[in-house]
Amino acid sequence: MTPLKELRRPVAGLTRLGMFVGAIGSLTTLVPFAGLAELGRVLLEDGPPDGGRLTTVALVVVAALIVGSLLNGFALWLTHIADARLQALLRRRMVDRLGAVPLGWYTDVTSGQVRKAAQDDVEELHHLVAHHDVEMTGAIVLPLGGIAYLCWLDWRLALLAIVTLPVYLFAYASMMRGFADKMRELDSGFAKVSAAIVEFVHGITVVKAFGQAGRAHRGYRQAVVDYGERYAGWVRPILRLEALTSLALSAPVIALVSLAGGTWFVAQGWVSPVDVLAEVLVAMIIPSTLLTLNNGFTAQRKAVAAAERIGALLDTPVLPIVDEPEEPRGHLVEFDRVSFGYNEGETVLADVSLVCRPGTVTALVGSSGAGKSTLAKLVPRFYDVTGGAVRLGGVDVRRIAPEVLYRKVGFVLQDVQLLHGTVADNLRLGRPQATDAEVEAAAEAARIHDRILALPRGYDSVIGEDAVFSGGEAQRISIARALLADTPVLVLDEATAYADAESEARIQQALSTLARGRTVLVIAHRLATIAGADRIAVLDRGVVAESGTHEELLAADGRYARMWHAHAGAEEGVR
């Protein structure tokens, strides 16, 4: 079963009903054509026209127009209901899936890609479900019904109505060769454009500050240029061919062919002038139905590509959960001969063993790329180990239910994410039921309470509207959030990375409050911030090169000592 068919299966019944009603509505719209021909027949008869017959035909035409419009409207109402249900279902499935994937998945996928699948691609299915099926059914049934009517009059009239059609169909088949592959390429290019826009907008402040605006948006500009060149290279020859071949289905050409052929048929005595009138009316609807078919096929191919991306997102592997999860006994964190690689054959961590005891602070230091952040992210299961085990309270974290794990393990990342909502709602993310007093107590402990009270609406101020925080203030919001969540294990990933000297001092005070009585794992780049840690582990190329207290490592005169002396020298140079 194709991804598109699989995605549409929940609303297939409602869609089929809409197509059936639409088919009847389209056939009903043929009645006025036959009625006009019949009116012509009555008016051309010898003698006075039959008034009663004229009235009957006119009433039938009016009734058919009304019934046809109602049926077509009802059919589209049904398919729009199907579309609304499908969009709601897909978005719920996406939310469920995105909530179940490993947290590390979000570091590998750009927000532009997720937005395209969750918003643009779902919208891409709208035309297919809400319009395409009914319109395509009408575009097929209406000309077929008209041709059947012409065959009933005279088979030669049916052939005359479609005599120019083969020219267009041959050209259309040539134009659409490889269309699906081209659409995939274009959609891939547009996804790159979306990702480039998001990346550029997020970094525009830093870019402008360093006067690199022209250079920084080169990636976006290149993505747009590539997309434009690819699109133009595909469309340009198609447009030339279509401009020539579409003449075969233009109204003047069809009218000319129909009238010329019909005149000859009348001269031969095969048909009557009224029959020719009916043929012209039917022949003139063919271009509009073919345009609908063309647009429908284009929409369908776009929807196929969108369905593949939605299907890929919905098939993203979720975080494995055991059938019978275990409850951790205590808050001891153990890394037992841990190995990890993001890709098969890649080694980021190799045979790492480390113990983080309750009530202590363990710091991870090392050069960039040494594996510090990766090791810390294994505790809250951003990723799962490829070898060894990470244990919490004596239980492998892979055997702990996620909701239990995240009640036990909290994390404060260097890149703080504040959601659009009130300050209070942001603080309550980890504990929605917290009282106002508990929220304020956490903010006071994180040294951010006074700053929040200074906002126009205090804790009810909305992030991004009347609440704008500096990097250090956002970190303290994040720390207050972690305090309120009150997890016994805490992972801190360079929590003072974006803070100035004053903010850093306040953050360190907040962290001291946060760390009391907890099992704390700290990732640090500024060695001065972790000199008082109970244990310092130095990582080098994915292995623990040495570990101990600050004094022990300085006495060992190894890698940490060299890092410390370099750090102290840099600090002295700044002064």
Which domains are seen in the chain, by residue range? 3-92+107-314 (1.20.1560.10), 333-574 (3.40.50.300)
Task: Report the C-alpha gap between 565 and 542 in whole angstroms.
Answer: 23
Please tell me whether the overall predicted TM-score, pTM, comes out greater than 0.85 for this model: no
Give the span between the Cα atoms of 262 and 271, in whole angstroms.
Answer: 8
CA dist 487 and 24 (Å) reads 63
Per the rule left: phi > 0, alpha: psi between -120 and 50, beta: everything else, 541 is: left
- The pLDDT value given to residue 44: 67
pLDDT for res 574: 46
pLDDT computed for residue 129 by the predictor: 87
Helix (H, G, I), strand (E, B) or coil at 383: coil
pLDDT given at position 81: 94
How confident is the model over 302-328, as a mean pLDDT? 86
pLDDT: which is higher, 473 or 290? 473
What is the average pLDDT value for the chain, to the nearest integer?
Answer: 81
pLDDT for 248-268, tens place per residue? 667 777 888 888 888 888 888
Q: What's the whole-number mean pLDDT along residues 184-206?
A: 67
Residue 265 has a pLDDT of 86
In percent, the amount of the chain with pLDDT more than 70 equals 79
CA atoms of 551 and 564, how far apart (whole Å):
11
Tens digit of pLDDT for each residue in 138-156? 888 888 888 888 888 888 8
Task: Count Cβ atoms below 10 Å from residue 249 Cβ, excluding itself.
Answer: 19
Determine the average pLDDT of the residues in 328-357. 89
DSSP-derived 3-state class of residue 117: helix
- The β-bridge partners of 422 are 462
**Least confident window among 121-130, 429-438, 510-519:** 510-519
The pair of three-digit structure tokens given for residue 498, joined into one six-digit string: 């974006």
Indicate the helix (H) or strand (E) that contains 439.
helix 436-445
Please name the residues in contact with 243: beta carbons below 8 A apart, sequence gap of 6 or more.
Answer: none
Which amino acid is it at 209?
A: A
Confidence of residue 354 (pLDDT cuts 50, 70, 90): very high
Nearest to 4 by CA among 110, 133, 109: 133
State which amino acid sits at residue 353: S
| Closest by CA position to 249, among listed 173, 166, 177, 145 | 166
Q: Any idea which of 277-286, 307-316, 507-516 has the lowest mean pLDDT?
A: 507-516
Which phi-psi region, left, alpha or beta, contains residue 366 (left: φ > 0; alpha: ψ -120 to 50)?
left
Sign (positive or negative) of CA dihedral 524, 525, 528, 529: negative
3-state secondary structure of 49: coil
